[in-house]
Amino acid sequence: MTITDLPSLLKMHYRQNGLFKRFSPMRRFLPLLFLLFAPAAMAQTPLPPTPSPELEQQVLEVIRRHPEVILEAVGKYQTQQRKAKRSAEIQEFLKNPLKVDISNAPILGPADAAITVVEFSDFQCPFCVRSQAVLSVLKEKYKGKLRIAYLHFPLEQLHPQAKPAAFAAWAAGQQGKFFEYHDRLFALQEKILPTSFEQIARDLKLDLVRFNKDRNSPQAQARIKADMQIGETLGIKSTPTFILNGIPLEGAQPVDVFEEIIKLVLEPKT
C-alpha cells in the first residue's frame, strides 16, 4: 500500500463503520498524520507490510474519531503532488517545446508577439465557448505581447454542426472575416443550425456567392482535415486544447492557469 491508496481505503473503512458524518475541523491532528505518513510519502516507497500495532492503533483511532482530518491531509498531499508534476512537465516543455505548424492558421495579434496561443477548438463545444472569455481577458491584459492562432478540431461525432461551422468560418476567412465569424458562431453555440451559416454571412456583409462556393469547396475540406491531422499528430483528443509557446494545456482553464505559463515564458532568461 502507498500513500495514494489511502483515500479509497479510508472511504471503505468509513462506510463499514458508519463514520460518514460531518465533524468540525480538527487540524491539531494534522501534524500527527503527517508524521505517521510522511516517511513513506516523501520517499515514494510502500508503507511497511506489517506496521507496528501501536502505530496502527494510533492511525485507526484518529480515523475513527476524526476521519475528515486524514482526508484533508491526504488531499493536500495529492494536490501538492499534482502541482509538482505539472511544474516539472512545464519545465520540460520549456526546454523542448512542441512545434505546431500555424502557417495556414488565422491569427489574431502581432506577428512578433512573445506569446503564441494555439487554440484547437470546436464551435459547438461548450468548454470551448467558456474559454473564449478567458482568452478575451488574456488578449486585453497582454495586448501587444500575445497572439492567438486558431486550428479547427471539430468533434463531429458529438457536435453535428461543428464541421459545417468550421467550413463556414474558413470561408469567411477567405474574405478577411474569420474572427468576426468565429465570434458569431460561439455566441450561437448549441443553437447553430444549417441555416445559421448564411445568416451570419449576411450580417457580416460577406459576398454570399463566394462564401457558399468556398465553404462547399474541396479546399475547405482539405484545410479542416489538415488542422485535425496537426492536432492528432500532437496527440490531441479533446477540445479545447491550447499550446502556449509549445506548452500544452488541456480543457477550459481559468486565467491564472494560463498566466502561470505566460509568466514563465516572459520572465528574463538568466
> What does the pLDDT look like over 56-103, one tens digit per residue?
777 777 777 777 766 777 777 777 777 767 667 777 878 889 999 999
Handedness of CA 138, 200, 229, 220 (dihedral sign): negative
Return the beta strands (E) in 64-214 as ranges.
107-108, 115-121, 146-152
| CA–CA distance, 143 with 137 (Å, rounded to integer) | 10
Handedness of CA 155, 158, 159, 164 (dihedral sign): positive
CATH number of the domain at 121, please. Answer: 3.40.30.10
Which of 72, 95, 118 finishes a domain?
95
The total domain count for the chain is 2
Residue 172 lies in a domain: yes
- 149 and 79, same domain (yes or no): no
- 48 and 182, same domain (yes or no): no
Which of 55, 73, 95 finishes a domain?
95
Place of cell 459576398: 207
Residue 201 lies in a domain: yes
- 31 and 114, same domain (yes or no): no
Q: How many alpha carbons fall within 13 Å on the CB side of residue 137?
A: 11
Q: Which domain range does residue 235 map to?
A: 107-266
- 129 and 155, same domain (yes or no): yes
| CA–CA distance, 156 with 172 (Å, rounded to integer) | 20
Q: What is the pLDDT of residue 242?
A: 98
Give me the sheet containing 107-108, strands edge to edge: 107-108, 146-152, 115-121, 241-244, 247-250
- DSSP 8-state secondary structure symbol assigned to residue 115: E
Q: What is the pLDDT of residue 51?
A: 58
Cell numbers of 121, please? 477548438
| Cis-peptide into 240, omega within 30 deg | yes
| CA–CA distance, 141 with 131 (Å, rounded to integer) | 15
Q: Which helix (H) or strand (E) segment is 261 a member of?
A: helix 255-266
Q: What is the pLDDT of residue 265?
A: 84
Q: What is the pLDDT of residue 70?
A: 65
Residue 100 lies in a domain: no
Q: What is the pLDDT of residue 189?
A: 81
- 127 and 41, same domain (yes or no): no
**What are the pLDDT tens digits along the chain (270 aa)?**
444 444 554 455 445 444 444 444 444 444 555 555 554 444 444 545 555 677 777 777 777 777 776 677 777 777 777 776 766 777 787 888 999 999 999 999 999 999 999 999 999 999 999 999 999 999 999 999 999 999 999 999 999 999 999 999 999 999 999 999 999 999 998 789 999 999 999 999 999 999 999 999 999 999 999 999 999 999 999 999 999 999 999 999 999 999 989 988 888 653
